[in-house]
Structure 1
Amino acid sequence: MAAMSVIGIDFGNESCYVAVARAGGIETIANDYSLRSTPSCVAFSGKNRILGVAAKNQMVTNVKNTIHGFKRLLGRKYNDQQVQSELRFLPYKITPQADGSIGIHVQYLEEEHVFSPEQITAMLFTKLKDISETALQTAVNDCVISVPSYYTQAERQALLDAAKIAGLNVLRLFNETTATALCYGIYKQDLPAADGPPRNIVFVDCGNASLQVCICAFHKGKLKMLASAADYQFGGRNIDIIMAEHFSKEFKTRYNIDVHTNPRAYLRLLAEAEKLKKQMSANSTTLHLNIECFMEDKDVHAEMKRSDMEALCAHLFERVERTLKQCLLDSKLKVEEIHSVELAGGSSRVPSIKRLVEEVFGRPISTTLNQDEAVARGCALQCAMLSPAVRVRDFSVTDIQPYPLKLTWDATQGEEGEMEVFGHNHPIPFSKMLTFYRSNPFTLTASYSIPPSSYPQSYIGTFTIKNVKATPEGESAKVKVKVRVNLNGILTVASASLIEKREPTQQEKEEEEAQQQQQQQNNMDVDSTDKKDKSDQEAQANEPPAPEGDDKGDDKGKKKIPIRTVDLPIEANVCGLSLRDLDAAVEKEGKMVAEDKQEKERVDARNALEEYVYDLRAKLSEENQLATFITEVDKETLYRTLDDTENWLYEEGEDCQRQIYSERLTRLKGSFAFGKETGKEKSNMPENLANMP
């Protein structure tokens, strides 16, 4: 059963998909509405939270308490330029918090609550986890979650925090482009052998809020990312917004109404613009937009052709072309070396985008993949590979990280005070060993060499190496520091150790002598110099690898001094929620899950009572059902009881505790077995009908 709990989550700006690896294949899970796509929406009401499809369905009627578009707020501060530009399109209330972070205000359980984007994301993950557990009939823990390839460390950490709040164990944050590439490559039987030239494939993923392009080299059983480029300000929604702006100007002139004064009307207009855009993908004739009772009781009408939309969005399509060309440039490949171009993401269906892709790469586009589900399926495959519970075909994945990373420190002894540890498009996961000579604790500061275009600050965090002290001779000690970009694309200082020289103890000397005597007996003809070399090798085996530039040539022939490696504590001060905040958020999420469950049970009990009333009334009135087994008097009494219950349900019984509904239902079922209560015979009712549900 454990093997079934391996899921991949494609967390999108507009909607999410969940895929699972099981029964020798990958399948996409349907939610409680039998849909494969779950909207990235979280809503709040006086009694409970509403998540996914149900939240999206009531978005227009509950504008201020339906939270959407929060993926773009993760890991950012309120005064961030991107956050400020997003606020124009978000109808709910957002304020800066004391630490500069984002607070989302909602009315929940009849009072105002403030949640962080991480908490809102965790609520959505709770829903996706619930959908998966219902579909798979087993607990779900391990997962792989997709992230845009251009996400910075702060955004990645925020996503990991959100998953932790939702009780998910993330085996890896997987770049969306790489997930798509894995989904493509693992099923290809005809990939070139390892010693031949690779097959280079371009993947263009155009989603609701961003465009990502990558070029990937495939060999049999492995993929290697060569380059990736992204435009985080272009996606399908940008086309919708431009169309909506065009229509709002038209409505102002023609109907004298200003859409921007009414958030509800604007949301409706955006939804209609999106429908129109989808129709345009298949149709180049004039299309009509009609919205009834739009604003101030006015019906509105407008029309647009595909060519009109392309003219309005020309500047957007120029950005797409720039991103495609940038990726090709970074890959250092010629157009002739590209084998094929694959499309993914909902917005890649726009004809203008398809045309641009074909022009830049000089290849007809291919749609081998399921454009909407490829990322989730790739994540599920990666999860299956990382999880010990599932056996899956070996497929090696070498990803890249998009921003050059550097470390800076206080320089001593004439060394340089900074170093670019991982360059642009450097393979990940990857570790590097750095050697320092220090007599005191010291701090490494991590930052981006070039500030990311999508993020306002280049600072990442600091790592303090503690317990460093000088050698007994008063010299600087040798400290080895292991710097790593892990599977999640996050830079960490994985370990630090102090290399101490020490004299061997008396016991060790005696052991070595005994060992040498033993060896002499075994190999009488072994030259004594060979023995010396051997002890050298033993000493070297205990020493960690020296970084480049360490000269070992001088040591030949010398007796090595044994060394001891002491692990040093590292204090990391990086982005993400503190342990205290994380625990508080986990506790709050648990409480809200319990409240949702309680409300669901209450509603279910009310519905069960209502259903029983209608069902029993129908059976009493149908000739071939209960009517023939019951006297007229009893029937009248029963009808009266049913009417009373129904009236109570819609009046004072509208909002009661679950227990009250359950008791009412039990009483009603008891009065149906009226023979027991009145002491009469049970009319001619057969025994098995007396307690019929």
Structure 2
Amino acid sequence: MAVVGFDLGFQNCYIAVVKSGGIETVANEFTDRCTPAVVSFGPKNRFVGNAAKNQAITNPASTVCNFKRLHGRLFEDAVVQAERANLPYDLAPLCDGRVSAKIPSFFTDSERRSVLDAAKIAGLNCLRLMNDTSAVALSYGIYKQDLPDPEEKPRIVFFVDMGHSAFQVSACAFNKGKLKVLSTAFDPYLGGRDFDQRLVEHFCAEFKSKYKLDVKSRVRALLRLQQECEKLKKLMSSNSTDIPLNIECFMDDKDVSGKMNRYWSQAKFEELCADLIERVTVPLVAALEQAQVQLQDINAVEIVGGATRIPAVKAQISKFFRRDVSTTLNADEAVARGCALQCAMLSPAFKVRDFCITDVIPFPISLSWSSEADEAKSCHEIFGKNHPSPSSKVITFHRNKPFVLEAFYSDPGSLPFPEAKIGEYKVQNVQAQDNAEKSKVKVKVQVNASGIMDVTSATMVMRVSAADADGDLGENTIEEVSTQDGLDEADGQVRDKQFKSVIFSTDHSQTQGQMIQQDQQEKERNNAKNAVEENVYFYRHKLEGPYQTFLSTNEQQKFFELLNLTETWLYEEGADQDKQTYLHKLAEIHKLGMPVKDRYQESVKRPKLFEQLLSKIQRYSTIMEDESYKHIDEPDMEKVRTCVRETHEWMATMRKSQEQLRPEDEPAVHSTQIHKKLQTLLNICEEIVSKPKPRVDSPAEESMQAECTVNKSPEDVTMDYNDILQNGKRSSHEGD
């Protein structure tokens, strides 16, 4: 059972898999560990990753990218409309108002649920969602052997992550076997693409004055410039030389060029991005204040994310913390590796070092409930900002009829999302006690490990004795519950209450399955078409070369005609046919081509096998006359003679028959037949001729043994025996 971690980035994705030897980042079909988060829709199939990115210029209207911000948002959302202005494709509202098209720490409940739904549609069993910075902290801390003991002062580390579209900061406290997130802060609208856009604006203005070209009027030209500016930004971060920007046939068949230099243009670049660089400080200040630590208490600052490689960004972070930043983590793969580690910890198939992770809830969550006739509407903050997660609480109500709970974010102004409401939960089947008093209802509210808030259970306590009826029934109470799932037992009879079910349509899952099937069919169709084209070129080349003598003039003319007609058909009416049509065309080519190919291959293999067979016949013929093999029994040697004679006669007959044929005729004997004869000869003869000679003592040894026995008298033999005994006793005494 494999477990993997996904880093779902705005621009790229990384996938890490847990293996017995450790964690490995998976490479795609292009042997690239980074896969673009792009999907392109063709006429009949989809392209994903690198293949889709290659379609971005030629097919921009059907190539979907930069869709991470659209998760869980309505079409009228201001963020969606702002993104829509920069997208090469169009967005359309669905019937429910949503957009048809690893998670950041600032994702709200709706966005997190949207990611889980997407994973379900893709057929993934998502064990949990994990915040980017928490995954980075896990991949940092689990390998550290020098962390302080649990009772000692923790090591404080700040993690700064600037990706392509967002900027996140978290403060974490580390002890041995334990990670606690102290605070998180973010700017969801600051990332590497904002710096790219400043370069795009700069070169748009330069090309307009220099070449009189309005780049923004052409979608494809603007996309090409964006790609080149992104490359230029990356090169500026690591090179001090002049970096040219050259685009051929950019617009109106004009070539354009420009250049930037990290040093002499640094002031210009910082001037272009001055406001962006200043915005880097805001989340750093917020994270520091919320964590309630001083700069001198910080042990390390780790930076990850591709945009942190920009020198101006790195310098701003270093300036704020008054220390050099650390780059011990893989800036691109740290999130995916942390997710894979968390997945391994949750899976029973892997044994991982014990490491406790306590995350935080980024936004405060409140709960309100419908009031009784004699009560005012009640509202309480259940989970505060940076409250430990996962966590749960139990709220006790006194009701005599069903009521509704509404969950929402307490501070809408801090949300990067227009809707503060999380959801409504209706507690049904609530009734009064037998004595007409209100019933005690305990509702459990939970924020799970994925950061999703839910009402997990509701129980009603039924009074069984009059003595238990004492007490105030008009007060609602909230009690803390540990992060472990569970509920304290209540006195009396407890009955589960019903909740209103939310039904999700499975149309998206069915559509995904249909698209996967269609992609596979299109792949098989293209493979069949390519096979036809490859065989046309293959046989045409061979017929002009080694295959030329292995078919008659009429056959050759007929074959060439078929190949030419097939090639013409491929580029005309055969350009878009179904799989079976291409397979039928391929069968027509093979019907004429395979016999020619077989005759050529037989002409190459047959002489070599005949030579091997003749060599073995000659060897066994020599053995039959060799005196050194006289130890073999005559019946066995007769078997060898018979087998050699029959094989030799068969070979002579087949050779003669083959020599009488022309190259274009069907062979008289095939290489498989010769090989079979060779194996039969070896099986019969080799076992017999490999028998070893029986061991025979030489005459000199026999005469020497006889002389020793004859010359010795009985007394000598007795003396020799006594000497042996004496020598044996002497040896035993020396050993003692």
TM interval, short-chain normalised: 0.7 to 0.9
* Contact residue 7 and residue 21 of structure 1 kept, 8 A: yes
CA deviation profile, 1:393-445 (whole Å, cap 9, x unmatched)? 22111111100000011344658701110000111110111111111111111
Tell me, in whole angstroms, the C-alpha distance in 2 between the residues paired with 1:19 and 1:613.
43
CA deviation profile, 1:563-598 (whole Å, cap 9, x unmatched)? 11101012266xxxx512xx0111111111111111
* Contact residue 284 and residue 306 of structure 1 kept, 8 A: no
1:26-65 equivalent positions in 2, closer than 5 A = 26-65=23-62
TM-score, length-normalised on structure 1? 0.81
1:539-688 equivalent positions in 2, closer than 5 A = 548=479, 563-571=492-500, 578-580=503-505, 583-623=506-546, 626-627=547-548, 629-630=550-551, 634-674=555-595, 683=665, 687=670
Q: Residue 364 of structure 2: which of 391, 401, 404 is its match?
A: 404
Q: Which residue of 2 aligns with 1:111?
A: none
**SS across alignment from 1:479:** strand
Tell me, in whole angstroms, the C-alpha distance in 2 between the residues paired with 1:52 and 1:175.
23
Q: Residue 343 of structure 1: which of 303, 322, 340 is its match?
A: 303
Q: Residue 488 of structure 1: which of 450, 473, 476 is its match?
A: 450
Q: Which residue of 1 aligns with 2:238?
A: 282
* CA shift in 2, pair 1:48/1:689, >3 Å: farther
Q: How far apart are residue 631 of structure 1 and its match?
A: 5.2
* Contact residue 675 and residue 681 of structure 1 kept, 8 A: no
1:394-473 equivalent positions in 2, closer than 5 A = 394-412=354-372, 417-451=378-412, 452-473=414-435
Q: Which residue of 2 aligns with 1:374?
A: 334
Q: Which residue of 2 aligns with 1:497?
A: 459
Tell me, in whole angstroms, the C-alpha distance in 2 between the residues paired with 1:212 and 1:177.
7
Answering whether residue 121 of structure 2 is matched by residue 165 of structure 1, we say yes
* Contact residue 549 and residue 663 of structure 2 kept, 8 A: no
Q: How far apart are residue 389 of structure 1 and its match?
A: 2.5
Tell me, in whole angstroms, the C-alpha distance in 2 between the residues paired with 1:240 and 1:636.
61
Answering whether residue 165 of structure 2 is matched by residue 209 of structure 1, we say yes
Tell me, in whole angstroms, the C-alpha distance in 2 between the residues paired with 1:170 and 1:677.
53
* Contact residue 539 and residue 593 of structure 2 kept, 8 A: no
CA deviation profile, 1:73-122 (whole Å, cap 9, x unmatched)? 111112212112112211211233444322xxxxxxxxxxxxx12xxxxx
Tell me, in whole angstroms, the C-alpha distance in 1 between the residues paired with 2:479 and 2:504.
38
**SS across alignment from 1:173:** coil
**SS across alignment from 2:441:** strand
Q: Residue 189 of structure 1: which of 121, 125, 145 is its match?
A: 145
- The alignment-based identity, stated in percent, is 46
Tell me, in whole angstroms, the C-alpha distance in 2 between the residues paired with 1:33 and 1:341.
34
Tell me, in whole angstroms, the C-alpha distance in 1 between the residues paired with 2:7 and 2:42.
27
* CA shift in 2, pair 1:673/1:68, >3 Å: closer
* CA shift in 2, pair 1:303/1:674, >3 Å: closer
Q: CA RMSD for the aligned pairs?
A: 2.6
* CA shift in 2, pair 1:153/1:677, >3 Å: closer
Tell me, in whole angstroms, the C-alpha distance in 2 between the residues paired with 1:200 and 1:456.
34
User: Which amino acid in the other structure matches residue 479 of structure 1?
Assistant: V
Tell me, in whole angstroms, the C-alpha distance in 1 between the residues paired with 2:507 and 2:184.
38
Tell me, in whole angstroms, the C-alpha distance in 1 between the residues paired with 2:516 and 2:94.
25
Tell me, in whole angstroms, the C-alpha distance in 1 between the residues paired with 2:313 and 2:594.
69
Q: Residue 392 of structure 1: which of 346, 352, 355 is its match?
A: 352
**SS across alignment from 2:404:** strand
CA deviation profile, 1:95-154 (whole Å, cap 9, x unmatched)? 33444322xxxxxxxxxxxxx12xxxxxxxxxxxxxxxxxxxxxxxxxxxx100000111
User: Which amino acid in the other structure matches residue 603 of structure 1?
Assistant: N
* CA shift in 2, pair 1:615/1:330, >3 Å: same
* Contact residue 41 and residue 56 of structure 1 kept, 8 A: yes
Between 466-475 and 645-654, report the one with greater CA deviation. Answer: 645-654
Q: How far apart are residue 688 of structure 1 and its match?
A: 5.8
Tell me, in whole angstroms, the C-alpha distance in 2 between the residues paired with 1:637 and 1:38.
49
* Contact residue 217 and residue 226 of structure 1 kept, 8 A: yes
Tell me, in whole angstroms, the C-alpha distance in 1 between the residues paired with 2:126 and 2:82.
31
Tell me, in whole angstroms, the C-alpha distance in 2 between the residues paired with 1:369 and 1:357.
16
CA deviation profile, 1:34-77 (whole Å, cap 9, x unmatched)? 11111111111112111111110011110111111111111111
Q: How far apart are residue 285 of structure 1 and its match?
A: 4.7
Answering whether residue 223 of structure 2 is matched by residue 267 of structure 1, we say yes
* Contact residue 404 and residue 422 of structure 1 kept, 8 A: yes
Tell me, in whole angstroms, the C-alpha distance in 2 between the residues paired with 1:243 and 1:327.
30
Q: Which residue of 2 aligns with 1:360?
A: 320
* Contact residue 363 and residue 415 of structure 2 kept, 8 A: no
Tell me, in whole angstroms, the C-alpha distance in 1 between the residues paired with 2:596 and 2:19.
54
Between 281-290 and 419-428, report the one with greater CA deviation. Answer: 281-290
Which segments of 5 or more consecutive residues in structure 1 lack a partner in the other structure? Answer: 103-115, 118-145, 505-535, 537-545, 550-559
* CA shift in 2, pair 1:23/1:498, >3 Å: same
Tell me, in whole angstroms, the C-alpha distance in 2 between the residues paired with 1:33 and 1:689.
41
Tell me, in whole angstroms, the C-alpha distance in 1 between the residues paired with 2:329 and 2:64.
31
User: Which amino acid in the other structure matches residue 291 of structure 1?
Assistant: I
**SS across alignment from 2:236:** helix
* Structure number with higher strand proportion: 1
* Contact residue 291 and residue 301 of structure 1 kept, 8 A: yes
* Contact residue 462 and residue 572 of structure 1 kept, 8 A: no
Which segments of 5 or more consecutive residues in structure 2 lack a partner in the other structure? Answer: 469-476, 481-488, 600-660, 674-736
Q: Residue 87 of structure 1: which of 71, 80, 84 is its match?
A: 84
* Contact residue 461 and residue 490 of structure 2 kept, 8 A: no
User: Which amino acid in the other structure matches residue 579 of structure 1?
Assistant: F
CA deviation profile, 1:542-583 (whole Å, cap 9, x unmatched)? xxxx9659xxxxxxxxxx99611101012266xxxx512xx0
Tell me, in whole angstroms, the C-alpha distance in 2 between the residues paired with 1:152 and 1:310.
33
* Contact residue 283 and residue 306 of structure 1 kept, 8 A: no
Q: How far apart are residue 665 of structure 1 and its match?
A: 1.8
**SS across alignment from 2:540:** helix
Structure number with higher relative contact order (C-alpha < 8 Å, ≥ 6 residues apart): 1
Q: Which residue of 2 aligns with 1:239?
A: 195
* CA shift in 2, pair 1:673/1:60, >3 Å: closer
User: Which amino acid in the other structure matches residue 314 of structure 1?
Assistant: A
* Contact residue 461 and residue 491 of structure 2 kept, 8 A: no
**SS across alignment from 1:21:** strand
**SS across alignment from 2:429:** coil
- Higher Cα Rg, which structure: 2
* CA shift in 2, pair 1:254/1:677, >3 Å: closer
Tell me, in whole angstroms, the C-alpha distance in 2 between the residues paired with 1:614 and 1:561.
82
User: Which amino acid in the other structure matches residue 408 of structure 1?
Assistant: S
Between 57-66 and 405-414, report the one with greater CA deviation. Answer: 405-414
Q: How far apart are residue 647 of structure 1 and its match?
A: 2.5
Tell me, in whole angstroms, the C-alpha distance in 2 between the residues paired with 1:85 and 1:252.
25
* Contact residue 550 and residue 596 of structure 2 kept, 8 A: no
Tell me, in whole angstroms, the C-alpha distance in 2 between the residues paired with 1:547 and 1:618.
84
TM-score, length-normalised on structure 2? 0.76
Q: How far apart are residue 674 of structure 1 and its match?
A: 4.2
* Contact residue 461 and residue 572 of structure 1 kept, 8 A: no
Tell me, in whole angstroms, the C-alpha distance in 2 between the residues paired with 1:19 and 1:239.
28
